[in-house]
Structure 1
Amino acid sequence: MKKNILEEGVRYIIVGVLTTAINYIVYAGCDFLFERMGIPPFFSYKIAYLIAFVIAVFFAYFANKYLVFQKSGGNKGRELFSFFSLRIGSGILSFLLLMFFVDFLHFTHTPGWILSSGINLVLNYIGSKFFIFK
């Protein structure tokens, strides 16, 4: 049993790193593009965040379901709804944290994103492990 938990944890970390990489690449690319397009910085990083979030959530659902927790059956509708609900809730919290770090604490965009994403990663593991793919 401990071996399975350890393997699952390693898979979750790998998928989490891949999801975070996808999220960051899309975020940074959009942020860069929007800056070049002349979109004011106050808006550009927020739009970039939302686009990256949606793409990362789609990847994370399939990777967690089939690679991390290795679920092929179950109530797919319930799992999908629960997964997206968790990600939207934690994504909103992460977005608010990003705005707090950037707009109020005056972090630059990337460190603010890293901090908010780290908190988001922990919350999503707890929710996925104990509530969605149990």
Structure 2
Amino acid sequence: MEKMNIEKLWDKYKDIIPYGVFGVLTTLVNIVSYWIFAHPFGLSVMVSTVLAWILSVLFAYLTNRKWVFHSEASTREEIGKEIVSFFSCRLATGILDWACMFIFADLCGFNDVLIKCAANVLVIILNYVTSKLVIFRHKG
């Protein structure tokens, strides 16, 4: 009986559960790489934010494509369109992240790592919606 409930839950949330796991890992890639660029390397808040964004979006694309949304794109053209779509949508939420960092960390002087964490919550939600509805939607 319990096994059936677990299977039903998995079927119902089969995208959200792995997205949550890889979302946490992507967020860790983003925050840790930001911290490394900003603190040990001493780069500016904005440069560190952009470099962290590039690394985390690449990680997110690879994991989301395979393990979250099970992309069916197989030709170079399909994969190319998927990559452009993914990075375009991520650029939109990346701009939101950059704006938060610029306003709250650079201009207001709040703790940069805390602002980075807070901005990522909103970014994760928006990224899931765009991935599910735009990038990896299944045709059929």
Structure 2 length as normaliser, TM-score?
0.83
Between Structure 1 and Structure 2, the one with more helix by share is 1
The correspondence of residues 48-67 of structure 1 with structure 2, limited to 5 A, is: 48-67=48-67
Change (3 A) 1:131 1:5: farther
Tell me the C-alpha RMSD between the 2 structures: 1.7
Overall identity of the aligned pairs, in %:
30
The structural deviation recorded for 1:112 is 1.0
Distance 1:15 1:34 in 2: 26
CA offset at residue 99 of structure 1? Answer: 1.3
User: 2:100: which partner in 1?
Assistant: 97
- What amino acid is the match of 2:64? N
5 Å matches for 1:10-21?
10-21=17-28
Counterpart code for 2:53: F
1:1-134 equivalence runs, <5 A: 3-35=10-42, 44-73=44-73, 75-134=78-137
Give the Cα–Cα distance (whole angstroms) in 2 for the partners of residues 105 and 6 of structure 1. Answer: 39
8 Å CA contact retained: 1:65, 1:71: yes
- Aligned equivalents of 2:73, 2:50: Cα separation in 1: 30
* 3-state secondary structure, aligned to 1:121: helix
Q: 1:4: how far off?
A: 2.8
**Cα distance in 2 for residues equivalent to 1:132 and 1:80:** 9
The answer as to whether partners of 1:66 and 1:72 remain within 8 angstroms in 2 is: no
Contact 1:90–1:120, Cα closer than 8 Å, also in 2:
yes
Cα pair distance change 1:45/1:79, threshold 3 Å: same
Q: What is the alpha-carbon distance in structure 1 between the residues aligned to residue 34 and residue 89 of structure 2?
A: 20
SS of aligned partner of 1:34: coil
Residue-pair matches, total: 127
Q: Which runs of 5+ in 1 are unaligned?
A: none
Mapped to 1, the partners of 2:72 and 2:13 lie a distance apart of 20
